Every structure is written in structure tokens, then in C-alpha cells.
């Protein structure tokens, strides 16, 4: 920990930042992949949101409520609502000079549960409470990081 005190926090020499950057990159790629998964579902089901998109596939229709497309879109929306919070709180967490083991495990676990959330929600639909457990685990991780940031950055 004393080594981190003398070095820049946001460099590869800080293993906590390196871990944060790695898992954040995975999560960003995952969010991009969700857009592609939505497009794949639209093509597979031949349902599009805009009339001009009908020309992309013969026999397609404009439809706003296809259950398979909407399931993937909701999973993507859930990522959009949760991953940016992790990206911001994780970066602030790195700045708070947390325990290396705690930080790395929180970053890993958050990434795993976000991927599993998508798997149980949009790819292989698993009954509740699987999705809720994945979602709540991610929320708890963000809250833990935020509490640690507040405690470390503001001396009471």
C-alpha cells in the first residue's frame, strides 16, 4: 500500500487501477455487444422499429412489442442504468486507495454478475430470483464502494 502512495493512482503500476481498467473494458465491450445482440434479434425475428429498416429483410414488419427483442432491449437498458454507475464509482474507489484484494474482488464480482444477469435474462431465460440476485449483487457492490469512498475521502 505504501508503494501506491508514492506513485500515480491511475497508471498500470497501480494493480488496483490496472484491474479496474481491465474489468471496465470488459463491461464496455459487453454493453456494445448488447446493441449487436438487439440487432441480431431484430434480424432473426424480422421485426424492426423503423419503416425504412424493413427493406433490410424480405418479409419483415415494423413492430414495437416483439417479446424476444424487448427482452434483449430491457437487459441492455439495465446495463445502461448500472454499468456507468460502476465505472464512475469504481474510478473514485481507485482514487480512495482501497485494499488491493477488496477492490479487485469487487471489480471481478461486479463484472461476473453483470454478465450473468444478461445470460439469465436475455440469452437463457431463467426464472426469478436468478436475475434479481445478479442485479442486487451489482447494486450492493456499488454501494460498498461508495460507502468506502465516503469513509476514506471524508474524515469524520
Q: At 69, which CATH number?
A: 1.20.120.550
Q: What is the pLDDT of residue 5?
A: 53
Q: Cα–Cα distance between 83 and 59 in angstroms, integer?
A: 36
Burial class (CB in 10 A: 0-12, 13-18, 19+), 147: exposed
What residues contact 68, with CB distance under 8 A and at least 6 apart?
41, 44, 45
How many structural domains comprise the chain?
1
What is the average per-residue pLDDT within 11-26?
96
What is the average per-residue pLDDT within 115-120?
97
* pTM (predicted TM-score): 0.88
Q: What is the pLDDT of residue 153?
A: 87
Residue-number span of the structural domain to which 52 is assigned: 2-153
Lowest mean pLDDT among 7-16, 80-89, 107-116: 7-16
- The three grid cell numbers given for residue 82, joined into one nine-digit string: 448500472
Instruction: Provide, rounded to the nearest whole percent, the portion of the chain with pLDDT above 90.
Output: 71
What is the average per-residue pLDDT within 53-73?
82
pLDDT band at 86 (very low <50, low <70, confident <90, very high): very high
Amino acid at each position: 500500500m505504501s508503494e501506491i502512495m508514492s506513485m500515480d493512482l491511475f497508471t498500470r503500476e497501480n494493480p488496483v487501477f490496472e484491474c479496474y481498467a481491465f474489468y471496465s473494458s470488459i463491461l464496455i465491450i459487453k454493453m456494445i455487444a448488447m446493441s449487436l445482440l438487439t440487432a441480431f434479434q431484430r434480424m432473426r425475428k424480422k421485426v424492426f422499429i423503423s419503416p425504412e429498416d424493413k427493406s433490410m429483410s424480405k418479409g419483415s414488419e415494423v413492430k414495437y412489442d416483439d417479446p424476444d427483442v424487448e427482452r434483449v432491449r430491457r437487459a441492455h437498458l439495465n446495463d445502461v442504468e448500472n454499468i456507468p454507475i460502476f465505472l464512475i464509482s469504481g474510478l473514485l474507489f481507485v482514487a480512495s486507495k482501497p485494499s488491493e484484494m477488496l477492490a479487485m474482488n469487487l471489480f471481478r464480482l461486479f463484472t461476473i454478475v453483470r454478465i450473468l444477469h444478461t445470460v439469465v435474462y436475455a440469452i437463457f431465460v431463467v426464472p426469478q430470483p436468478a436475475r434479481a440476485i445478479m442485479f442486487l449483487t451489482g447494486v450492493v457492490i456499488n454501494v460498498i464502494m461508495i460507502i468506502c469512498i465516503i469513509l476514506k475521502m471524508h474524515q469524520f
